[in-house]
Amino acid sequence: MEYRYLGSTGMKVSELCMGTMQFGWTADESQSYRILSESFEAGINFLDTADVYSRWADGNPGGVAETIIGKWMRQNNIPRHQVILATKVRSRVGDGPNDEGLSRQHIFYAVEASLRRLDTDYIDLYQAHWYDEHTPIEETLRAFEDLIKQGKVRYIGCSNYPAWRLTEALWTAEHHHLARYVSLQPHYSLVYRAEFERELADVCRRYGLGVIPYSPLAAGFLSGKYRKGGTVESARARGAGRHFNERNWALLENLEAMGKEKGEKSISQIALAWLLTDPLITSPIIGPRTSEQLKDNLGAAGLRLSQEEKKNLDDASRWENA
């Protein structure tokens, strides 16, 4: 497993990030512990979660993924300094009027709840899950700044920010001498490129932000389990279904052929390698729910594409800049 600096920070993270949205949803508690242990033993030191995971699942009140991580670390005596914990704030986590958003009030409440569930004194990377149109960005950044001064947070990042809001946040931090976002977590994959590449990529490149793409396998579409005319029973089948079109079926065939040429690599491994080959990308977030899926994902570690292979996939999945 290779390690990379997270943006302009001196913090090194594994080239694959373990996502935990599936914990307490499509992976039960015991399976989640197994995945965490196997990934840690394989060299993954970067764990991404959120306070809301996975509140949409039946019987899940939210915060379950954070709780599982905290229990796993405690029960296995995992040295805290050997794990980079990233979590998020913004989503609704209760029924009160201030139980969501990026206000100072909610951030201060939410961070204490996350620290308690994670069973830790500090969060390495605290991320705004998406922007809050009702809260001035300066208020949000000052709250984050105070958490850093208190030692409860090391660095801050954001997810699902449009380019204009991200630029505003970076400018506000510089103008008011506040802590700034060091990373962006965008929705990005071979079959979902435009949202990140249109403007956000240039902002990240210009300001040295780390890029941590989520859904790099497009809700499982790029795992190879979906085929034209076939059906798959999966909790995430609806998300994958948005990519069902002739161009993407052809892309899967392209990925499969390239994998065979590179020594029987899987479709998902080539899709992850496409991201890892880009120097702008820090660490794609994988989300295996079984040991078999984790083993497959780990096969992408250290895998890189040649310039010709990268261009081949770029051209096959190109979007039009209208």
Amino acid identity at 149 = K
Phi/psi at 261 (nearest 5 deg)?
-65, -25
Whole-number Cα distances in Å, 250 to 154, 253, 261, 306: 44, 5, 17, 20
Amino acid identity at 225 = K
CA neighbours closer than 13 Å in the CB half-sphere of residue 43: 16
Report whether 74 contacts 133 (CB < 8 A): no
Active-site residue flag, 207:
no
311 CB contacts (<8 Å, ≥6 apart)?
Answer: none
306 CB contacts (<8 Å, ≥6 apart)?
Answer: none
Report whether 12 contacts 4 (CB < 8 A): yes
Q: Which of 3, 33, 53, 226 is catalytic?
A: 53
Residue 196 three-state SS: helix
Q: Which residues are the active-site residues?
A: 53
